[in-house]
Amino acid sequence: MAKLSAEKTGKKSRKEKRRLLWLSVKKNKACYAMIAPFMIFFVIFTVVPVIMSLPMGFTDFNMAQAPKFIGLSNYTTLFLSDRIFVKSIRVTIVFALFTGPVSYILCFLLAWLINELHPKLKTVFTLIFYAPSMANVYTVWQLIFSGDMNGYINSFLINLGLINAPIQWLTDANYVLGVTIVVQLWISLGAGFLALRAGFQNIDRSMYEAGAIEGIKTRWQELIYIVIPSMGPQLMFAAVMQIVSSFTAGTVAQNLVGFPSTDYRAHTIMTHAYDYGWVRYEMGYSAAICMILFIVMYILNKLISRVLSKYMD
């Protein structure tokens, strides 16, 4: 409706346009009423803080004094003289490349396979794969990867005779990133996975019926011709969640391999932002770091939504 009236206004005067806009606002007042409760809280607690934070990347802000405008200086420092930032870019890319696609495919594959099982088993398996993202069990991972003989992995490998001295999983520069990736993958079957499970559950059964009549025989064909085309919105949701969790990961590394990690080997961009924000109280600099990360994620999001657009309605 709004679209139609907007087209009409193309030729008319500005005053007329404003009047028609107001009319269509008035006509849709039920819509605004429905959206209002959400929007009030969303604007106060998310939109306003986000807008307030946008210019911080151009300031020198230590949280004690008022922010001071310093132009692009934070950004030039970041790229020209902050060697650890450059290193953290590399770590983040490696980390995101390993965790992002693998976990995205795992989410989809597992959600699909679970869907093929008996309803009782569905609940159990969904819980098993989702539980890690509910649990807060860094301590147990510390004990599993513990650097002494009491660590589960070390004692297992020593018993097998594969190694004769314990490996320092959490402090050896060669292993910290690998260990972090493993644990991140373990907790990564989260929101995206569950949304995909819900999506599978919502596929109309008559679709399978129609497919069977039209000669779809194997599960594989069902997946390609029925399931994926009707899962576009959930695939998009899972992709956004995946981008966020792969690129903004930092807490796993901080809890597991310490902060800062050995030789900055598990130092992601988000960890770097944390370092400057909450350890050194250089919030302006930290905001600049986050802004760069956001731009990268936004571009990636646009690319993915273009790929998935043919499955969207």
Partner 1 sequence: MQTAVNIDKIKGSNRQAGKKIGGTVAIFIFLAVLGLFMVLPIYLTVVMSIKPVEELFIFPPKLYAIRPTLNNFSDMFDALNSNRVPFSRYVFNSIAVTVSVTVLQSIFASMAAFVLAKCKFPGSKLINSIIVVALLYQSNVIYIMQYIVMAKLGLIDNPLALVLPSIASPMGLFLMRQSIGQIPDAMIEAAKVDGAGLFRICWQIVMPNQKPALMTLVIFAFQAAWNIQTGTLVFQEQYKTLPTVVTQAASAGLARAGVAMAAAVFMLVPPIVVFMLAQRQVIETMAHSGIKD
Considering only residues 274 to 293 of the shown chain, the ones binding partner 1 according to CB under 8 A are 274, 277-278, 283, 286-287, 290-291, 293
The answer to whether 87 touches 263, Cβ cutoff 8 Å, is no
Which of 220, 8, 213 is CA-nearest to residue 113?
Answer: 220
The stretch near partner 1 (CB under 8 A) out of 30-38, 85-93, 171-179, 251-259 is 30-38
Closest approach of Cβ 5 to partner 1, in Å? 9
| CA nearest neighbour of 199 among 169, 222, 229, 179 | 229
Alpha-carbon torsion (283, 245, 135, 178), positive or negative: negative
Sole window of 11-19, 75-83, 230-238, 251-259 interacting with partner 1 (rule: CB under 8 A): 230-238
CB of 60 to partner 1, least distance (A): 13
Give the other-Cβ count within 10 Å of 164's Cβ: 7
Examine residue 209 and tell whether it contacts partner 1 (CB under 8 A).
yes
CB of 270 to partner 1, least distance (A): 8
Near partner 1 by CB under 8 A: residue from 80, 105, 134, 224: 134
Regarding 165 and contact with partner 1 (CB under 8 A), the answer is: no
Q: What part of residues 82-121 is at the interface with partner 1 (CB under 8 A)?
A: 110, 113-114, 116-117, 119, 121
Q: Which is nearer to partner 1, 195 or 253 (CB)?
A: 195
Residues 72 and 142: their CA atoms lie apart, in Å, by 41
Q: Which residues, listed in sequence order, are joined to residue 68 by a DSSP beta bridge? A: 60
Q: With binding defined as CB under 8 A, does residue 201 bind partner 1?
A: yes
Q: What is the DSSP letter of 163?
A: -
Q: Say if residues 276 and 88 touch (Cβ distance below 8 Å).
A: no
How far is Cα 224 from Cα 157, in angstroms, rounded to an integer?
A: 42
The DSSP symbol for 246 reads: H
Min separation Cβ 169 and partner 1, Å: 14
Contact pick of 53, 76, 174, 309 for partner 1 (by CB under 8 A): 53
* 191 lies in the binding site for partner 1 (CB under 8 A): yes
Q: How many residues bind partner 1 (CB under 8 A)?
A: 110
Asked if residues 143 and 151 have their Cβ atoms less than 8 Å apart, the reply is yes
Of 13, 65, 81, 159, the one binding partner 1 by CB under 8 A:
159
Contact with partner 1 (CB under 8 A): which of 111, 188, 199, 268? 199
d(C-alpha 167, C-alpha 175), whole Å: 9
Q: Fill in the amino acid letter for 100.
A: G
233 contributes a contact to partner 1 by CB under 8 A:
yes
- Given 9, 62, 77, 155, the residue binding partner 1 (CB under 8 A): 155
